[in-house]
Structure 1
Amino acid sequence: MFKDFLKQQQSGLEALSTTGIIGLHLVSGPLVGFGIGYGLDAWLDTDPWGKLLFFLIGIVAGFLNVYRDTRQLVKKMDAETLHKGTHENKPAD
């Protein structure tokens, strides 16, 4: 009984951390892209094209990471649901 409670708590913390990582990906991708573009614009004197281009690339990269993380989370949830369903159908010893 207590082990089940601990598993539920751990599962909740994992979901919370995954949600935080997804939010971090949405913010960090465009920021890193903008930073790279800013540096290239200063170096190559191409203002504002480097910032714009790499900001857009950062947005795409951020959403791609969110898609990957979400897909991985859904697979894990499906596996847990399937695993939980097989344990519930086992006869008691």
Structure 2
Amino acid sequence: MRYTQSGLPANAVTHGSCGGWWTGLGRSHCASCHETFSGESAAGRHRVGAHGVDRRCMDPATVGLVARPMPFGTLWSWPAPEVALSALRGGAVAS
């Protein structure tokens, strides 16, 4: 892997306001709470309220997302398929 003079991977994307960085063009970074998500659907899951009225961020863990440690920090993503289905239905995982 190649690195820049600043020590970041050459393919890192950096957010100017918070200085956070991540790799992968499919990632989403919230400009409000500065959390990084695996994609647009995971990022959208943590946003609630009406646009232009009371739109706000929720704690990603409270809306069924899972924290995954990455070199750049926490990446919030959907859980494994069986856990995701259970979370969406509000139930426990079948064993």
Q: TM-score, normalised by structure 2?
A: 0.20
Q: Which of these two proteins has the greater Rg computed from alpha carbons?
A: 1
Query: Which structure is higher in strand share?
Result: 2
Which gives a bigger RCO, structure 1 or 2 (Cα 8 Å, sep 6+)?
1
Q: TM-score, normalised by structure 1?
A: 0.20
